[in-house]
Structure 1
Amino acid sequence: MRLPRSLTTAVGLAVVSALALTACAPETTDDAGTAEDTAATESADGATDEFPVTITHALGETVIESAPERVATWGWGSTEAALAVGVEPIGVSEQIFTVGEQALLPWVEEEYDALGAEHPVIFTDAEGGASVPYEEFVEADPDLILAPYSGLTQEQYDVLSDIAPVVAYPESPWVTPWDEIVTITAQALGRSEAGEQVLADIDTYLTDLAAEIPEAEGKTFAAIVDSPSEGLVYVYTPADPRVAVLENLGIASAPSVAELDTSDGGFFYTLSYEELDKLESDFVIAYTYTEEEAATFGESDELQAIPAVAAGDVVKVVGNVAVSSVSPPTALSYDWPDGVPAIADQLAAIYGG
């Protein structure tokens, strides 16, 4: 169902007003304007696929008539994927959990700076995608909005589509595999070959990393977040990209994770402390958000009920940035030192690699 017509109309009028103001504005030749025009031209010129491009996804079918010049992103991963294939988004969603208000993820900021590019507009997202700042999108004036890993609702998608073509997730919100994010983004930008190269490079990196820890091959894991205040742990399923990417290291999600799953296809479920003895695996990956939390993880009697925790076979990902680098992994964060590489190092320590 679309949003009330009054809101849709308001957004449409805002678009018209923005275009009208642009048309009436005096021409400028300042450096900022020149840089923006140059970036847009390079974005279009770098496309190798033929347009129009049509992408079918869970919320509809999107036709991209020509190579986008002003790309906006929403959710996770598509910003990095766009940058990796040579397109600099002019607007990206805020990542409150990781870096706070109006700041860029460190690997994203590094890439913009390395390219000598203007930093993008940062769209307000204080609610993790629960609401969308339509007016900010209107002001940014994108010609494509990428959201292949997001929580867009049909209503949000419909309203954003009045602003620019929108590419949503292929099946369900927040579960698009990390490599498909790259593929979908590259396809939408007309840069499929570049996307394939990005994935080939990541595959080589992960294969080489796996070769350094052969003793870990075939080991099983459960990826969790402890929540003492709730008396439970969050368990991530194989549908979550943070779990899927680790299989490239030769390890696998434990059968018990699937057996205990109550999510009905979701990317996580909760398990009460009373059931933790059922979570059997060779080792546990614990996502912790502070050094103190990491230092004390597993000391409680409740967590000691998990067999791998009792055995001391725990791999820790520590800090908001490190957790975010693998949640999900992206085209720019897969080799972030405190993320996947740190997991590999800890596996080597456990299994003697």
Structure 2
Amino acid sequence: MKAKWIPTLLMALSLILLLGACGNNNGGNSNNASQTSEATSTPDTPEAAKYPRTIKDANGEVTIKAEPKKVAVVHWGYADSLLLFNLDSVGLALPFTEKQSVIHSDEYKPYVDKIKDIQIVGENTQVNLEKLLAYAPDLIIAGNAVNKDIAADLAKIAPTVMIDEQQTDVWSDWPSLVTKFGEILGQEDVAEQYVSQYQAELAAAKEKLATLGGNVAFVQVRENEVWLQGTNYTKQYYEGMGLKAPTSDNMADGEKISLEGLSALDPDYLFLGYFNYSDKTLPAATDQWKDSEVYKKLKAVANNHVYSINGELALGYGPIGNSYGVKAVLEALQK
């Protein structure tokens, strides 16, 4: 009897010990897997912590689930702001054709060169929905006024943040737009750094030009028209740099102006913002002015205080253009 049941008992005990060991091992692996999973899902890196994020826009809220790899702006005034950020691929709608665009200018080059892929999804303020669809963005940024007619189409292509243009106005307050872009893209630090640097440069320029006498006029020179730039749209120069504007009933909003009208204004300093600055094969409305006696009698002309600048940049509305303008104006007036 002893010989029969002892081996059976020993085998049973061995099996119990073996199962117990396996159970302990499985439990150990299970705990390790759980710990590994928790470590992976914990937002312990900046990238992981940024998404998902919920953004308030003109229509309520938009949740961006993951970091967008391909971002398109379809408001033609937003391209300047998007290029400031660290992105590998962008889609841009432009205010002019790509050939006419300042995107190929020296001022844009540092921003353009750092982006691996740039696709044009609109020109002359018109969005090309076929090109936008082919680009296949992860995220679209639009304006609720400029892009209101295609809002439904945009939503079918990709998640869309529709910026409230009354609250965040690119035409008169690009720093607010850049700050909003930083929030959308999870790059608040990039936005803050650029805005702070710009404001510091603006303050330094104002200090350097504090003793400048006389008034300063900015005119936008197109192919067939010349426009006096109003103080409402050139705050960076008049408020930011402390320059004095000429006296005119239309100085706030500006106006289309002739040579005779400019003569009546007769500024002490004159900046001609050419839209053919980068491509002189294009005509300019002021081409015939230099031969005119009216032009020669302007105070700014007589005193050699006329300066040519890139009008698309300096008299535009975005951060890259305004930064160029502040530097160009300061350099000219310090001579």
TM-score by length of 2: 0.66
Q: Does the 8 Å contact 2:263/2:294 carry over to 1?
A: no
* 1:254 equivalent in structure 2: 246
1:202 match: secondary structure? helix
Q: Deviations over 1:305-324 (max 9, x none)?
A: 7554455432321xxxx333
User: Who is 2:157 aligned against?
Assistant: 163
Describe the superposition over 1:229-272 as per-residue Cα deviations: whole angstroms up to 9, x where unpaired: 56xx31122332xx22223222144342xx126xxx96x53134
Which residue in 2 is equivalent to 1:92?
92
Does 2:128 correspond to 1:133?
yes
Paired AA for residue 323 in structure 1: G
Question: What is the Cα-based RMSD across aligned positions, in Å?
Answer: 3.9
Q: Would you say 1:82 and 2:75 are equivalent positions? A: no
SS in 1 for 2:186: coil
Maintained 8 Å contact 1:75/1:151: no
Rate the CA distance shift 1:348–1:186 in 2: closer, same or farther, 3 A.
Answer: same
Counterparts of 1:98 and 1:220, CA distance in 2:
35
User: Of 42, 51, 54, which aligns to 2:53?
Assistant: 51
CA positional deviation for 1:207: 2.4
Q: Distance in 1 between matches of 2:48 and 2:266?
A: 49
| Uncovered stretches (5+) of structure 2, i.e. residues with no partner | 1-45
Asked if the contact 1:112/1:119 (under 8 Å) is kept, the reply is no
- The higher relative CO (CA closer than 8 Å, separation ≥ 6) is in 1
Is the contact made by 1:82 and 1:186 (CA closer than 8 Å) also made in structure 2? no
Pairing partner for 1:189 from 185, 189, 202: 185
Structure 2 residue aligned with 1:271:
257
**Residue type at the aligned position of 2:227:** Y
The question of whether the paired residues in 2 share the 8 Å contact of 1:273 and 1:303 is answered with: yes
**2:250, 2:321 → 1: CA distance?**
30
Q: Identity of paired residues, percent?
A: 18
Number of positions where the alignment pairs a residue of Structure 1 with one of Structure 2: 280
The residue aligned with 2:202 is: 206
* Runs of 4 or more consecutive aligned structure 1 residues displaced over 6 Å after TM superposition: 291-296
Deviation of the 1:92 alpha carbon? 1.7
Q: Distance in 1 between matches of 2:317 and 2:209?
A: 20
Contact 1:146 1:167 in 2 (8 A): yes
Superposition map of 1:1-353 within 5 A:
45=47, 51-56=53-58, 60-61=59-60, 63-66=62-65, 68-69=67-68, 70-75=70-75, 78-94=78-94, 96=96, 99-100=99-100, 104-113=104-113, 115=114, 117-125=115-123, 128-129=124-125, 131-147=126-142, 152-164=146-158, 165-168=160-163, 170-171=165-166, 175-216=171-212, 220-226=215-221, 233-240=226-233, 243-247=234-238, 248-256=240-248, 259-260=249-250, 268-288=254-274, 289-290=276-277, 298-303=290-295, 308-309=300-301, 311-317=303-309, 322-328=310-316, 330-336=318-324, 339-349=325-335
Partners of 1:225 and 1:195 lie apart in 2 by 29
Query: Which structure has the bigger radius of gyration?
Result: 2
Structure-2 change in CA distance of 1:122 and 1:169 (3 Å): same
